[in-house]
Structure formats: C-alpha cells, structure tokens
Amino acid sequence: MCAALTIRPVSALLESLGIELPVVQAGMGGGLAGHELAVAVAEAGGLGTIGTLPPRGLARELRAARAATRRPIAVNLIQPLVGRSHREVARDADVVVTHWGRPRRRAGGVWIHQCGSLAEARAAHAAGADAVIAQGVEAGGHTRAALPARELFERVRAALPDTYPVLLAGGIADAADVRAALEAGAAAAVLGTRFLMTEESGAHPGYKTRLVAGRETLLTDLFGFGWPAPHRVLPNAATRRWLRPDGRTPRAIRALNRISGPLGRLPLPGSPPAQRAGFPILTPYSVTVGRPDSQLEAGALYAGETVARIGDVAPAGELTRALAR
C-alpha cells in the first residue's frame, strides 16, 4: 500500500534541476554537511548541500558526491569566510547557496541567497539571484534574522514577483511543517537541524546525543572569534561560563570577537585548534566527528529551536522521503 505517499510538486526552479521533492538540506559548514549527507538527500529526491570547508576539502567533498550520485548537488558559501579558490570549486556545483554579506553571484549555475531580512531578499533579487531563502530567527547556526521564519517569509513573498521562488528556512522539523511551508507559498522547505540529526551528518557522536536530549537553545554571539555574527546553539560549559545572567556576551569578549573579524578572511585551517571552555577565545568551528570530546563543552553546538521536537537520529534518505509525505 502506498496510498499514504503523497509526493508534493516542486517549484519550476527545482524541477528544472531534476529535484523531485521540495526538501532542501541546508549546507552546514566545517564538516557537518559533507558528501555522505548531501548524497543521501539527493538520492532520495531532495536537494543535498555540502557546507563551507577550506577549498581543498570542499573540492574533495564535491568530487566524492559526484562519484556517488548523478543527482544535482549544491555547495554553500558563507561569503565572509570564502575566497576565490572556493568560488572556483563552486563552479562545479549545480547550485550555489550563499549566506551572509552583500548578495553576489559567486559562480555559474543556479544561485540561491539565504536572507535574514526583507531588505536582504530585495538586494539578492536585484543582484540576480535565481531564488532566495527566507531564514527565520528560530534557525540553527548563524542567522541575521530578527523575525520568525513564517513572518519574514510572508513579507518577502509579498514584496517579490509572484513567480520568483522563495524558500523557507527555520523551524521545520517534520512533514506537517513542510506541508505548511508549501501551503504558505514556499518553493521548498530548507532544513538544517533536522538533517544535522541524521546518521550521515558529520556531527560528533556526543553532539548528536546532546541534540537528541536538547530542549533549549540560545541565540548568542559568544562563539564569534574571527566571525562576529549571531548564532543559535545548545547550552554547554562555555555558555554557562561566559554568558551573563541576562544572556548577553561579556563586553570584553564581544570586543575581542569584533577585533578578530578580519581573521575570518584568512584561509580556514584544515583541522581547527581545540579551544577551552574557560578561555575567552571562542571560535565558530563546528564540533565534528574526530574532534576531541572536550569540544562538546568548549565549542559551538549549533542547533535550531526544532531540536526540542526532534527525538532521534534518522537515516537521511528515509527522512527526506518522509518529509515530503
């Protein structure tokens, strides 16, 4: 019996790429979303995305994805952290999803820009983006949004031409959420936290355990050394040690993060240095497989608000299909 399986139609843009399901796995940087995750999503019919990495790592992941699937693959570029070599690698992707910074086409192919405000969405549209993602404040990882995803989405949808594709990111965890996003007019649903909690994501096993148990997240700028930008994380020893009772980052750390901003433009190290929860240099590096267990308390455990509603680590292919039912 397959009566329960209702595959929703995808937008013309995704259809032109050969994507069957309106489900986009967000690029999650630093090794959280590598080729295993992107390929599993792509093979299931969604759009899989490789997250930002140093150029050689990004090229390796894209090659591995190409070897494993003939389906379209996206690459995510966090603009303040990437240079020309990243853009050269991104030329081999089917889709480039940019985030942060002035919206600019970074390579050929389809270009989607992830936005945190109506002004940013308008700028991306004017700069020639093929689509925008409206990212809400409930999203995991870095966000410049002040509004919940649905509210921002509605403003962006109303301001841009009817046929222009607007995707929705933030707060989407299950098939009912995907359906609601599509019914609101989204060209597709973009999910980060849900795909972080899969067998194929590159999150450290202890990070996955904490995600499954996680109920609460914090929007902070604590882990901003080299990239002083707001992000949503699970609490850990570093947040308990440094965040003030009102949740704010101490002024000295904010100043250090601000001054260190230009360091973010230097080439990313292949294997990031370990940091300590009690030492106020707190970088945005992800806590991936193979990093020391100590980083579970000292590093940024990115997660969106949906973590409170997700209680498992799922296989990404099955999950992609289930999200589109």
Binding site for ligand FMN (CB under 6 A): 26-29, 32, 51-52, 76, 78, 99, 114, 135, 138-142, 169-172, 190-194, 196, 302-304, 306
CA-CA-CA-CA torsion sign (92, 94, 100, 101): positive
How distant, in Å, are the alpha carbons of 32, 42, 169, 245, 247 from that of 113? 20, 20, 12, 35, 30
- Please report how close the Cβ of residue 19 comes to ligand FMN at its closest, in angstroms: 17
- Please report how close the Cβ of residue 254 comes to ligand FMN at its closest, in angstroms: 21
DSSP string, 262-277: GGGGSPPPSSPPP--T
Instruction: For residue 264, report the phi and psi dihedrals to the nearest 5 degrees.
Output: -60, -25
- Please report how close the Cβ of residue 40 comes to ligand FMN at its closest, in angstroms: 17
- Asked if residues 222 and 249 have their Cβ atoms less than 8 Å apart, the reply is yes
Closest to 50 measured CA to CA, from 16, 72, 27, 32: 27
**DSSP state, residue 31:** T
Closer to ligand FMN by Cβ: residue 109 or 141: 141
- Please report how close the Cβ of residue 183 comes to ligand FMN at its closest, in angstroms: 18
- Please report how close the Cβ of residue 206 comes to ligand FMN at its closest, in angstroms: 14
- Please report how close the Cβ of residue 3 comes to ligand FMN at its closest, in angstroms: 29
Closer to ligand FMN by Cβ: residue 285 or 302: 302
- Please report how close the Cβ of residue 2 comes to ligand FMN at its closest, in angstroms: 28
Closer to ligand FMN by Cβ: residue 295 or 306: 306
Tokens of residue 200, six digits: 């194929």
Distance CA 133, CA 149 (A): 10
Helix (H, G, I), strand (E, B) or coil at 311: coil
Closer to ligand FMN by Cβ: residue 100 or 242: 100
CA-CA-CA-CA torsion sign (196, 201, 207, 211): positive
Closer to ligand FMN by Cβ: residue 138 or 221: 138
Closer to ligand FMN by Cβ: residue 67 or 187: 187
Q: Which residue has the tokens 């996206």?
A: 74
Distance CA 255, CA 277 (A): 18
Closer to ligand FMN by Cβ: residue 42 or 191: 191
| Residue number of the CB atom closest to ligand FMN | 192
Closest to 41 measured CA to CA, from 155, 196, 212, 226: 196
Tokens of residue 72, six digits: 């379209």
Helix (H, G, I), strand (E, B) or coil at 122: helix
Closer to ligand FMN by Cβ: residue 245 or 269: 269
- Please report how close the Cβ of residue 83 comes to ligand FMN at its closest, in angstroms: 16
